Amino acid sequence: MNKNILMSSFEAEMTMKLLNYNRTFRKAYICSPLKAPTVNEFFKNIELARCYVNYATEHMCVYGKAPHAVLPTILGDNSPAERALALEFGLKLLEQCDILYVCGNRISEGMKGEIGKAASLGMPIVVFDEELFVTVKKIATANGAPKQQVSLDLKHTALSSVDPDSFIDRMVSADD
């Protein structure tokens, strides 16, 4: 039997990082789009979520948590009941995190709920795309957050990437 069918390299790497748990690392919830108009874009969004998790863990000393990087393998996004279950799980996971990272360059409906939840929890919210910053701040303040709860990080712009190939290029330049 092919061992790759049992666990992807992403899942294996993340499992190893969790097994070697570092208590000094904060838990960062990765907020990025999943839903997409085409199947190819849907899979691209899963791949991007995995890239964001990996980058945050490797370059920002946090444990990146993105339920939409793994849940689509067991819960169908086109099934309303399963999507609701995945969103509920995501919000519960968010409650266990220390910070919310808003990645990519657009806000989906699911992301609005995650940003609102983080705002109501008083959780720091970090945005990596300049144009998205104002939108995220509006969502957060509408949910009771003070403006200073949302910050813009232009040092880690790889987390604003929306193309896996350009993301990898940005990661390589971040390592230089």
Whether 119 contacts 91, CB under 8 Å: no
- DSSP-based three-state secondary structure for 114: helix
pTM recorded for the entire structure: 0.85
pLDDT digits (tens, 9 = 90+) for 154-172: 999 999 988 877 766 655 5
Residue 150 forms beta bridges with which residues? 125
Please determine, looking at this structure, whether the domain spanning 26-175 carries the CATH number 3.40.50. Answer: yes
pLDDT band at 119 (very low <50, low <70, confident <90, very high): very high
Q: Quick: pLDDT tens for 43-84.
A: 999 999 999 998 998 899 899 999 998 888 888 888 899 989
